[in-house]
Amino acid sequence: MDLFRKRTKLHGSSMRERSIYKMQDRIKRHALENPSCKKVMVDEEERYLTIVSTENKDTKHFSCMPNEHIERGEIIKWYGTWMVTSTDSDEDVYQKGIMKKCNYELKWMNENKEIITRPSILSFPYSSLIKENKVYTTDKTKCQIFIPFDKETAKIRADDRFFISAIEDKHTVYRVDNVNDVENTFNGEGYIVLTMSETMLNTETDNTELHICDYYKINSSTGHDESKDKPDEGTNEKKYSKIESDFDYIIPEYVGTNLKAHFFNGDDETSDNVTPLWKVESDNNENLSVTYSSDKKEMTIGTDNEELLGKHVKVTLSDSEGIYEQCSLSLLVRGM
């Protein structure tokens, strides 16, 4: 009798447990016969997943082999790079989840001067929509990055800046507005969501060759010899101009953006006897409101036309004598 009970409980002490065992055993024995069963790499480990397509070619449903587990935020290598964005907590028989294809590699430098790269999912949820012959204009200057949570990405903070562009000579920079590191993380696993806004390139601190923001700033703060990496800017007697701006954007029907002119002879500012020359360029300057102070040292620029949303206004500063090297900046017309 004891032997009979032992055998009947070999694969579970209840009918439910024995049914689960039989289903798992059947899946293990016949998984490779399923055309949807694919060989993948998960954290450098070879695994088998059943992968099912959806209406979106960049989103797949998957199921693991019985008694195997994948965390949210884990990277899967299979015809590209994918990130697990959702998992089902009901995994008595096997675990199910959703993975999305990574379409961007985010790159930055940490405080130890190490260049960090992470696969990520880049989306522009604020783009304009066209529906039923109506155009809904929204802020096209924002984006979101979904990136795995780890010891490096956990250090990302609001106001950190990143290059985001697939074109090498297009130096588009975004600044982090918000870091959501709570909603999709648990016990040190998962992914974080970065909400970003387009901002200005800073030629003084950003490395356009490596596409790393604040490259020279980080190296300078750690005692690195900046001159070895930064393009040669000549001697300290160089004469150059600089624009000081209270914002790097223009908001329609809002207070204008103030700009101030500065001129330098080497390290010394020498603006007293210099007459600034301002040049404003946009798709339509007639939609801009530009005012100057009496000495032209300050300028205020604004607009009340929302048609300029998502476009840039280029402002260039030089001097009337042509002595100082001119400079320019790009102001983004954005929503609140």
> Could you read off the pLDDT of 125-168 as tens digits, one per residue?
654 444 444 444 445 568 899 999 999 999 999 989 999 987 77
Residue where one domain finishes, among candidates 101, 134, 166? 101
Beta bridge partners of 115: 109
Averaged over 253-259, what is the pLDDT? 80
Distance CA 267, CA 237 (A): 8
CB contact set of 29 (below 8 Å; sequence gap of 6+) = none
Residue 214 lies in a domain: no
Q: What is the C-alpha separation between 217 and 205, in angstroms, rounded?
A: 5
What is the per-residue pLDDT across 271-285, written as a single tens digit (0 to 9) for each?
678 899 999 888 778
H-type helices in the chain, by residue range?
2-8, 15-30, 215-221
Continuous segment of H or E residues that includes residue 142? strand 142-148
**pLDDT level of residue 336 (50, 70, 90 thresholds):** low
5 pLDDT band, cuts 50/70/90, is: low
Spatial CA neighbour of 183 closest among 196, 193, 194, 168? 193
Q: Which residue, of 83, 101, 119, is where some domain finishes?
A: 101
AA letter at 197 = S
- String of DSSP letters for 37-105: EEEEEETTEEEEEEEEE-SSTTEEEEEEPTT----TT-EEESSSEEEEEEE-S--SS--EEEEEE--EE
* Number of domains within the chain: 3
- pLDDT of res. 44: 85
CB 244 within 8 A of CB 260: yes
User: 272 with 286, same domain?
Assistant: yes
- The answer to whether residues 109 and 86 belong to one domain is no
Task: Report which residue type is found at 292.
Answer: Y
Q: Do 130 and 157 belong together in one domain?
A: yes
Amino acid at the residue 194: L
User: Pick from 59, 78, 101: which residue ends a domain?
Assistant: 101
187, 265: one domain: no
Q: Positive or negative, the Cα torsion across 222, 225, 228, 234?
A: positive
CATH label of the domain that carries residue 175: 2.40.30
pLDDT in tens, 34-91: 888 899 999 889 999 999 999 999 999 999 988 888 999 999 999 999 999 999 877 7
Q: Which amino acid is at 12?
A: G
Percent of the chain with pLDDT over 70: 82
Q: What is the pLDDT of residue 146?
A: 96
Region for 254 from its dihedrals, namely left if φ exceeds 0, alpha if ψ lies in -120 to 50, beta otherwise: beta
* Single pTM value for the model: 0.62
The whole domain housing 245 covers 234-333
Query: Domain for residue 225, yes or no?
Result: no
Of 319, 324, 317, 325, the C-alpha closest to 299 is 317
pLDDT in tens, 98-117: 999 999 999 999 998 999 99
d(CA 119, CA 122): 10
CATH number of the domain enclosing 264? 2.60.40.60
Residue 213 lies in a domain: no
The verdict on 51 and 71 lying in the same domain is: yes
For the ranges 7-11, 134-138, 287-291, the maximum mean pLDDT occurs at: 287-291
Instruction: For residue 44, give the CATH number of its domain.
Output: 2.40.10
